[in-house]
Amino acid sequence: MSLIAVKAGVAVHVAEARPEEALDALRVIETTSRGTLAEMRHLLGVLRTGAADADLTPSPGLADLTGLAERAAMAGVHVDLDVDAGSSPRASRSPPTASSRKRSPTS
């Protein structure tokens, strides 16, 4: 939902001066909102039928970060992914950390 809000703001800001960029933002909004609606429908189905009937999948983990970065890239966000899960027993019990930053197209 955050990506939808950001891209909507971009579209409004650049609509007159750069209509092609506004159209790109609207395409991202369309794709992201459709995916979000599908996830919401699935969640509502789980809540309605109860967990016993649902096809439950685990929460995304460290192995899913690359896919998340790829989806962000498809939305036009440059992501530098650097994951350090550590090697100590304590690190394996702690949630992994990652960082990302958005860069302008000129950097």
Q: Average pLDDT over the chain, rounded to whole? A: 76
Higher pLDDT, 38 or 50: 38
- 72-86 in b/e form (b: 16+ CB < 10 A) is beebbbebeeeeeee
Tally Cβ neighbours within 10 Å of residue 93: 7
CB-based contacts of 36, cutoff 8 Å, min separation 6: 1, 4
Q: Identify the pLDDT of residue 107.
A: 44
Structure tokens at 36: 């979000």
C-alpha–C-alpha distance, residues 31 and 3, integer Å: 11
User: What average pLDDT does this structure show over 44-67?
Assistant: 74
Confidence class for position 54, pLDDT limits 50, 70, 90 = low
pLDDT at 32 over 70: yes
